[in-house]
Amino acid sequence: MARTILACLRIHAHNRIMTSHPDPAEQTPSLFELYLGFAQISVSAFGGALPWARRILVDQRGWMDPEDFASTLALCQFLPGPNVVNLSIAFGRRLHGWAGALAAVFGLMAAPVVIILTLGGLYLRFGQIGSLKGMFAALGAAAGGLVVATAAQMAVPLIRKTPMTAVPIIVAGFVLAGLLRWPLPAVMAVLAPVGLLLARRRRT
C-alpha cells in the first residue's frame, strides 16, 4: 500500500514540476545565466548543496520565491535521485525546456566532479594525519548546522501561511524521522496523504 501511494505521488510530482511555468513578470535567466547560477551553488556548497541552493536561487538571484522553492523541493523529494539535482532539472526545464535542464545540471555537477577527484587523491595520500580527522569532525558539525538553518528558513513561510496545516506535519515529521528513526519512504507514505487531506479541507 505504501509503495502504491509513493508511486502515485511521484507521478503527480513529476507532472507538476515539469509542466509549471515561471511568473512572466519575473526576469527569466538565460541559459548561460542558469549555468552560472547552479555553478555558483556547486562551488559554494560546503555542507551540502541545499542551503546554498536556497540562498542563491531565492535570496541572491530572486529566481524563486520561498514558497515556490519549498514546494518544488518537496515535490522533487518524491522522485529518485539527489534532491538538489532533481531541483536543478525541474527548474531548468521549467525555464528553457531540456536545454535549460542540461545547463542547470552541468552547472551543478561539473566543478564538484573535478574538485572531488582532486581532493580524493589528496585524501588517499594524507588522510591518516591526526589533525585532519579533527578538522573533518568540525566540518561535519558545521554542515549539520547549515542544514538545520535551511530547514528553519523553509518552514517559516509555510507556518506563516498555513499554521494549522504546516505545524502538525512538521512536528510529526520530526518525531517519525528524527526520534523514531523511521525510513524516509515510510514517513512520506504516512504524512503525504495526511498533508493532502489537510490542504484540501483548508481550501474547502
Tens digit of each residue's pLDDT (9 = 90 or more) over 162-182: 888 888 888 898 899 888 989
Contacts of 13 (CB under 8 A, 6+ apart): 75, 76, 78, 79
* Segments of the chain with pLDDT less than 70: 1-26, 46-47, 127, 129-134, 136, 204
Question: Residue 113's pLDDT is what?
Answer: 87
pLDDT for 24 equals 39
Given this model, what pLDDT does residue 127 score? 64
pTM: 0.61
Query: Positive or negative CA dihedral for 184, 93, 15, 156?
Result: positive
Domain boundaries, the chain: 2-157, 162-204
pLDDT at 46: 66
Contact 78, 188 (CB under 8 A): yes
